Structure 1
Amino acid sequence: MATGRFIVCDGNNGAGKSSVIADLREWLSAAGHEVMVTREPGGTPIGEKIREVVLSPETPELCDTTELLLFAAARAQHLQEKIIPAIEAGVIVICDRFTPATIAFQHYGRGLPLDLVQAINGIALNGFKPDLNIILDLDPILGMQRVASRGGKLDRMEMQKTEFLSRAREGFLRQAKEDPVSFTIVDASRSFDSVVKDVRSAAQALLSRLA
């Protein structure tokens, strides 16, 4: 049986993750791969309930440590219930956000100690690691302009100040610099065609490398 892969699409708010993931799913499916798309926090019934809590604007009292623990709890359930079984069945799993977001938002953004974030994350991961992290990089101001243009209410993370989002962006870029093998940075300020071309190229390189 073919071995599945785990691809993460992460980065700044408004960078176009949803559209990029939809294109990547279609492209991989057309090439004959079985593909599953999921998201964090969420992906399972328990995870979706946690998502409602951590992203709701109605929970402003949520402290930073509780936020970290809830993200980790959702991830642990997500991995055991959905992600790992799919990979073992030969499926390519594409996830909207994963561990890069935790480090970017909870460490670089919130200022929680890196060793604490990594320790809590490590419990949830239990040795699991993504095959590829695609970071859609975009200036936070442009990103929030895109988010605002969609209309609708902002979630808790989207309501954060620009300074917070800028620190998170630096966190994504720092992780990619420290691990260039499993991270790929894609400039999301360009045309959609240019962005998906680079994303497809990164996915193809992964599949060729691990074939």
Structure 2
Amino acid sequence: MRQGLFISVEGPEGAGKSTIIKKMADELEGKGLSVVLTREPGGITIAEEIRRVILDPENTAMDERTEALLYAAARRQHLAEKVIPSLENGSIVLCDRFLDSSLAYQGHARGIGMEEVYSINKFAIGDTMPDITLYFDVEPQIGLERIEKNKGREVNRLDLEAIGFHERVREGYLMLLEKFPERIKKIDAGMTFDEVYEQALNVVELYISEHRPVK
């Protein structure tokens, strides 16, 4: 039985979400909450191996549908092995990307179609969806410039896409934001780190205070 809270974090490349949620996890744990910080694709051994295949810059021949199916496969294993057990244990799961990434990237930006990508993932996730999603919104050009400046960040296959692809990704996310306003909360990621962090933490703490997990 699900007793914890499932919080996903979304955004285009260079939005800064990964750094933000690492700090957030530390702060929530400091307040005595049980927090599991994880990511997609990845989080567990099998999914991390799939991640390497998907994001390898050498895999330029990968078909769009193959890409979508690999993401769904990694997602299923991650859910079964890590996310669902953590939720059943009463933890707060902070997940860097989830289904919305596939809908925005493969569904909209790749042109497969959001409904088609959702149908693939419905088989993978069953009824497991985030309780709340933070969408870190930033102009694609700003995000890519941040990646260029951050020499310590991995450069993956998606980073190398043309600007038009990244613009379509953002467009896909904004469509999802409009469709699911109760679940997806927009964070202005174009501001300073501290300002973005404060926005995100306020949203999460308010949600937790209203839906505090059992453990």
One-letter amino acid of the counterpart of residue 181, structure 2? P
Structure 2: gaps (5+ residues): none
Q: Deviations over 1:164-186 (max 9, x none)?
A: 10010011111111111111110
Q: Give the equivalent residue in structure 2 for 1:121.
A: 121
One-letter amino acid of the counterpart of residue 140, structure 2? P
Could you tell me how far apart the structure 1 residues matched to 2:94 and 2:18 are? 11
Could you tell me how far apart the structure 2 residues matched to 1:4 and 1:76 are? 19
Which deviates more, 170-179 or 58-67?
170-179
1:25-64 equivalence runs, <5 A: 25-64=25-64
- Normalising by the residue count of structure 1, what TM-score does the alignment of the two structures yield? 0.96
Q: Give the equivalent residue in structure 2 for 1:72.
A: 72
Q: Give the equivalent residue in structure 2 for 1:171.
A: 172
Q: Give the equivalent residue in structure 2 for 1:196.
A: 197
Q: Deviations over 1:3-57 (max 9, x none)?
A: 2111111101111112111121022112210111111001111101100000001
Question: Does the CA-based 8 Å contact 1:47-1:77 persist in structure 2?
Answer: yes
SS of residue paired to 1:38: strand
One-letter amino acid of the counterpart of residue 56, structure 2? S
- Shift of residue 206 of structure 1? 1.5
Q: Give the equivalent residue in structure 2 for 1:89.
A: 89
1:154 correspondence with 2:155? yes
Describe the shift of the 1:70–1:2 C-alpha distance in structure 2 as closer, same or farther (beyond 3 A). closer
Task: Give the aligned length.
Answer: 211
1:9-28 equivalence runs, <5 A: 9-28=9-28
Structure 1: gaps (5+ residues): none
Could you tell me how far apart the structure 2 residues matched to 1:137 and 1:75 are? 23
Describe the shift of the 1:2–1:145 C-alpha distance in structure 2 as closer, same or farther (beyond 3 A). same
Which deviates more, 173-182 or 148-157?
148-157
Could you tell me how far apart the structure 2 residues matched to 1:109 and 1:173 are? 12
- Normalising by the residue count of structure 2, what TM-score does the alignment of the two structures yield? 0.94
SS of residue paired to 2:135: strand
Could you tell me how far apart the structure 2 residues matched to 1:29 and 1:161 are? 39
Q: Give the equivalent residue in structure 2 for 1:205.
A: 206
Could you tell me how far apart the structure 1 residues matched to 2:25 and 2:40 are? 17
Question: Does the CA-based 8 Å contact 1:131-1:206 persist in structure 2?
Answer: no
Point out 4+ residue stretches in structure 1 off by more than 3 angstroms.
none
- Shift of residue 2 of structure 1? 9.2
Question: Does the CA-based 8 Å contact 2:104-2:114 persist in structure 1?
Answer: no
Q: Matched residues, percent identical? A: 38
Q: Give the equivalent residue in structure 2 for 1:107.
A: 107
One-letter amino acid of the counterpart of residue 45, structure 2? P
SS of residue paired to 2:129: coil
- Shift of residue 209 of structure 1? 2.7
Could you tell me how far apart the structure 2 residues matched to 1:113 and 1:107 are? 4
